[in-house]
Every structure is written in C-alpha cells, then in structure tokens.
Amino acid sequence: MKRCILIFCSTIICISSFAQILRDTIFFANGTQIIGKLKKIRVGVVTFDPDDANDVTVNVTKVRAISAVRTVFRVETIRQQVYYGKLLPHPNRQYLYVIQGTDTSVIHMQEISILYPYKNSFFQRFSGNVGIGFTYTRSSDFGQANFNTKLAYTAKRTETTLSTSGIYTINDSTIRRDRQDISLKNNYYFNPTWFGTVFIAYQHNLELGLDRRFQEGFGIGNKYITSKHVYAWARTGLAFNQERNIEGISTGTLSEALGQIEFNFFRFIKPEINVTISQTFYYGLTQTGRIRNDGELDFYCQIIKDLKLDLTFYNNFDSQPPGAESRKFDFGIVFGLNFTFQ
C-alpha cells in the first residue's frame, strides 16, 4: 500500500514538473522571474500573461533571458531575418537560442522586430478586427453608420487578407449606401522581404459617381522597413477594372499601372497606439491621362485589452470620374470602436 502511495505521489510530482517546464518563463536582470505565457515581443516591449494575473508589459532591456518551449514562435529581426522555433536562454545576457528542429540560431533580444506564437492549427492562424461607429443629429433627422472588418490568415510563406468597409446614411425611410470597399489579397513571400501579390476588389462611391467597380490585379512587393517602431512595404503591378457609373453606363475592361505604399507606426507602451498610412496610385493605360488615388490614415488607441478607439481619414481622387457630373475628390473622417481577435 505504501508503495502504491509513493508511486502515485511521484507521478503527480512528475506531471506537475512537466507542466511547469512547458510554461514560459521571463528572467529579469534583478534576479526575479515570472511564469506564464509569452504572448509577443514588439517594438522593444514584451507582453506576457502570468499565471493567475493580468497581462504585463515590460521593456525588453529589463529582461535577462527568456525560456519558451510550449509552442513554436515566429521571430522577425530588424536585420530582416525570419525564424520559426522555440526559445531557450543563452549564457550571455539578452541573447536567445532559437531552436529550429535540428538547427539552432542565436539572436539578441533588442534585434527582435516582432515575435509571436506561430499556430500549428489551421484555425489558430486567423486574426483580425471588427469596427463599428454611428453618428446622429436630431436637427437633420439622419444618422450615419460605418463599419470595417479585417480577417488575416498567416502561413510560413503566404499572407491572405480579406478587408471590408462601408459608410451608410440612415433617415426615417431609407438607408443609402454612400461608400463601400471589399478586397481580398494574397502575398507569397519568396524570401523575408520580397513577395508576389494577387488581389481582387470591389468599390462603390456615390461622391465620385461610381455605382460599382470590379478590380483584379497582380504585382510584386517589398517589405523594406522592419524596425522596432516602423513596418513599411511597397508594391507595384497591373490592375484591371470593370466599371459602371450611377447612370448605369458600363465600361469594358480598363487597365491601369499601380503603385502602393504603406507605413505602420507602433507604440506598445500604455496606451498602445498604432498609426497606419496607406496610399495607392493608379495610372490609366486604357484611358490615357486618367489618374486615380485611394488612401487611408488609421489611428488606433487601446482602451482596454482587445478594444480600441479607431479614427480613420480616407481620401479618393479620380481625374476622370465615371459620373459625368460627379466630383473628382472625396474625403471623410470616420470614428468608431474596434475589437481585435486572434
């Protein structure tokens, strides 16, 4: 009987020890440590979920070592290197071993641009956000609603993103669709910085006299900045459009050369702030001299975990708008709440 009890107790201790090993651990420069789950490293800030406590953020300069072997992490460095592996402490302060199967790499923590768990499950690789907003004025007796959604799927060499947004005017009897955008794009990475891209899109804009535009395209791009505080990429290629104006007149297929740039600025100390600037320029090949521009400036400020304030400025320009009497330039400011999920 005593032997059975001893075996049982030993088994419980082994299971507990194994579970402890699978927990992530941060070792601080002052000798203390915390155990839990490593969530991400971004912009020189470590986000960690301790056991039985809320998330904590700490500057990476205060961390001596990290052990995280419960899952595989995706690690991007400011030298534009990408690793997939588990993390073990290095004898030298502020260095990490990245265990990649039979290969092992050594990196300095302060050279990490972004680090996050790489999910093995298909559904765990999805992330995104949903945003809504509404304004109403009694004097004019109408309201305006807006929404935006983004769903992203990330694999080792591909990124697929579905984005939608819309602005609607609402009064007592009608709901008018003022502006709507839907896009689906896929990037395939040849190496950590260069990628090929294909995309399809739909646009509707009453201000420019556009009832609908279907768009297909392809191109090549480069992620040319991956620093601690800035992500930036650019792409160029060809786009093919099929348009119909608000008078119901349709065009054939119109070809355009395109160029797009995007900057992402991050600050991951409280409150977390993210600013994204995106501008796309089109030059008409079928319609000589036609120039178009679509752009957005997004400002996000975290209120609580996964909930952010969202302020967006958008702009659209068309030197030859589809509607004969339509304006050439449209812009607006949209305010709302944004929920992020992973």
CATH, residue 236: 2.40.160.40
Based on the structure, what is the number of domains in the chain?
2
User: pLDDT at position 42, please?
Assistant: 78
Q: Which of 117, 138, 158 is where one domain is finished? A: 117
Domain of residue 151 covers 123-341
Is residue 110 domain-shared with residue 128, that is, in the same domain? no
Contact 246, 209 (CB under 8 A): yes
Any domain includes 1? no
Res. 147: pLDDT tops 60 = yes
- The helix/strand/coil state of 55 is coil
Q: Is residue 12 part of a domain?
A: no
Range among 8-17, 54-63, 251-260 rated most confident: 251-260
Residues 151 and 85 in one domain: no
- Pair 313, 282 in one domain: yes
The residues with which 333 forms a beta bridge, in sequence order, are 313
Domain termination site, one of 117, 133, 150: 117
- Give the per-residue pLDDT at 268: 65
User: Are 225 and 267 members of one domain?
Assistant: yes
- What is the pLDDT at residue 82? 87
The answer to the question of residue 175 being in a domain is yes
In a domain, 332, yes or no: yes
What's the CATH number where 72 sits? 2.30.30
The dihedral through the CA atoms of 184, 267, 75, 264 has a sign that is: positive
Q: Does a structural domain hold residue 11?
A: no
User: In terms of domains, do 221 and 314 share one?
Assistant: yes
* Residues 284 and 239 grouped into a single domain: yes
- Name the residue among 90, 60, 84 with its Cα closest to residue 71: 84
More reliable by pLDDT, 86 or 121: 86
Q: Last residue of a domain, which of 84, 117, 150?
A: 117
Hey, what are 138's tokens? Answer: 């009694």
pLDDT band for 19, please (50, 70, 90 cuts). Answer: very low
> What mean pLDDT value characterizes the chain?
86
pLDDT at site 183: 97
Span 308-321, average pLDDT: 94
Q: Is the pLDDT of residue 269 over 80?
A: no
pLDDT > 70? residue 18: no
Least confident of 139-153, 233-247, 277-291, 306-320: 139-153
Tell me the mean pLDDT in the region 110-124: 79
pLDDT tens digit sequence for 270-312: 778 889 999 999 999 999 999 999 999 999 998 887 889 999 9
pLDDT beyond 80 at 230: yes
Structural domain includes residue 159: yes
84 and 129 fall within a common domain: no
Provide the whole-model pTM: 0.78
Whether the pLDDT of residue 205 is over 60: the answer is yes
CB atoms within 10 A of CB 131: 23
Q: Is the pLDDT of residue 13 over 70?
A: no
Is 76 within a domain?
yes
Q: Does residue 10 belong to any structural domain of this protein?
A: no
Q: Confirm if 220 and 197 have CB atoms less than 8 A apart.
A: yes
- Within this chain, do residues 186 and 298 fall inside the same structural domain, yes or no? yes
- Do residues 112 and 131 both lie within one domain? no
On whether both 94 and 163 belong to a single domain, the answer is no
pLDDT classification of 7: cutoffs 50, 70, 90: very low
* Of residues 78, 40, 76, the one with CA closest to residue 225: 78
* Tokens describing residue 194: 């260069």
How do the residues of the chain divide into helix, strand and coil, expressed in percent and rounded to 5? 10, 70, 25
| Same-domain status, 80 and 214 | no
Name the token pair of 229: 């505080």
Amino acid at 38: L
Judgement on whether residues 113 and 139 belong to the same structural domain of the protein: no
* Residue 224, CA distances (Å) to 219, 228, 233, 236, 245 in order: 16, 13, 6, 14, 38
Percent of the chain surpassing pLDDT 90: 55
pLDDT > 60? residue 10: no
Please give the pLDDT value at position 120.
64
